[in-house]
C-alpha cells in the first residue's frame, strides 16, 4: 500500500504541477494556478500520515517506509527548485517569458551553482534522515529498524557525493575553452 501511495503522490505532484501551470499561463488565472501549486505539499502530508498509521498499526518497518521518508525529504529539498525549473520553461514556451537561465558552465560561477545544488540535496537527505530517525524512535527498541537505518546510510552517501562534486568544482574549476575560431590559422 505504501509503494502505491508513493507512486500516486509522484503522479499527483506532476498532475498538480501541470494543472497549476496550465491555469497560470494558458487560462491566464495566476492566482488559481498558485493555489493549485500550493496543494502539492498536501500529498506529502498524506503520505507521512499513512506511513505513520501503518507503523502504528503494527507493520514491521521495511524498505517501503524508508522510501516514503526519502520521497518526502526529496520533495522538501528539491520540490521548489523543480517547480521553478518547470515554471521557467512553461513561461517561456507558452507565455512569451524570457528564455530560462542556463547554469554557468565554467569557473567559480559553476562552483557556486554546484554548491547551491549540493545544498538542496543536503536539505533533502537531511530531511529524509530526520523522518527516518523519527520512525526509528516511533517503532521503539523492540522493533526491527535495520531497513530504516539502511536508508539513513544511503542519505549520507547522497550528501557525501554532492559535497565531493561541489568541492571538485571549487578546487579545480572547469575552464572555458579557448576561442576555436583563431585556432586553425
Sign of CA dihedral 88, 89, 91, 97: positive
pLDDT of residue 52: 85
Q: Which three cell numbers stand for residue 137?
A: 524512535
- Give the mean pLDDT of 141-166: 92
| Alpha carbon distance 2, 68 (integer Å) | 7
pLDDT in tens, 17-59: 999 999 999 899 999 999 999 998 899 899 988 888 888 888 8
Inform me whether the pLDDT recorded for 154 exceeds 80.
Answer: yes
Phi, psi of 105, deg, nearest 5: -100, -25
pLDDT in tens, 114-145: 999 999 999 999 999 999 999 889 887 777 88
| Alpha carbon distance 96, 45 (integer Å) | 35
State how far Cα 2 lies from the chain centre. Answer: 19
| Alpha carbon distance 152, 140 (integer Å) | 16
Q: Which three cell numbers stand for residue 165?
A: 562534486
Q: Which three cell numbers stand for residue 39?
A: 496543494
Q: Which three cell numbers stand for residue 170?
A: 571549487
| pTM summary value | 0.85
Confidence grade of residue 61 (pLDDT, cut at 50, 70, 90): confident
| Alpha carbon distance 58, 140 (integer Å) | 12
pLDDT exceeding 90 applies to what percent of the chain? 65
pLDDT of residue 153: 97
* CB distance 39 to 13 below 8 Å: no
Amino acid at each position: 500500500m505504501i509503494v502505491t501511495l508513493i507512486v500516486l503522490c509522484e503522479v499527483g505532484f506532476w498532475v498538480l504541477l501541470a494543472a497549476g501551470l496550465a491555469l497560470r499561463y494558458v487560462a491566464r488565472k495566476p492566482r488559481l494556478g498558485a493555489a493549485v501549486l500550493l496543494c502539492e505539499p498536501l500529498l506529502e502530508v498524506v503520505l507521512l500520515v499513512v506511513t505513520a498509521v501503518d507503523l502504528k498499526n503494527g507493520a514491521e518497518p521495511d524498505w517501503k517506509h524508508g522510501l516514503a521518508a526519502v520521497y518526502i525529504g526529496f520533495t522538501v529539498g528539491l520540490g521548489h527548485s523543480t517547480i521553478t525549473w518547470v515554471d521557467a520553461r512553461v513561461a517561456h514556451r507558452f507565455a512569451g517569458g524570457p528564455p530560462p537561465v542556463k547554469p554557468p558552465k565554467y569557473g567559480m560561477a559553476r562552483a557556486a551553482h554546484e554548491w547551491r545544488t549540493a545544498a538542496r540535496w543536503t536539505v533533502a537527505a537531511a530531511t529524509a534522515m530526520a523522518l527516518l530517525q523519527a520512525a526509528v524512535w516511533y517503532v521503539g527498541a523492540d522493533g526491527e529498524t535495520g531497513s530504516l537505518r539502511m536508508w539513513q546510510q544511503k542519505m549520507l552517501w547522497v550528501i557525501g557525493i554532492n559535497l565531493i562534486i561541489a568541492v571538485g568544482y571549487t578546487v579545480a574549476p572547469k575552464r572555458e575553452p579557448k576561442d576555436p575560431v583563431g585556432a586553425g590559422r
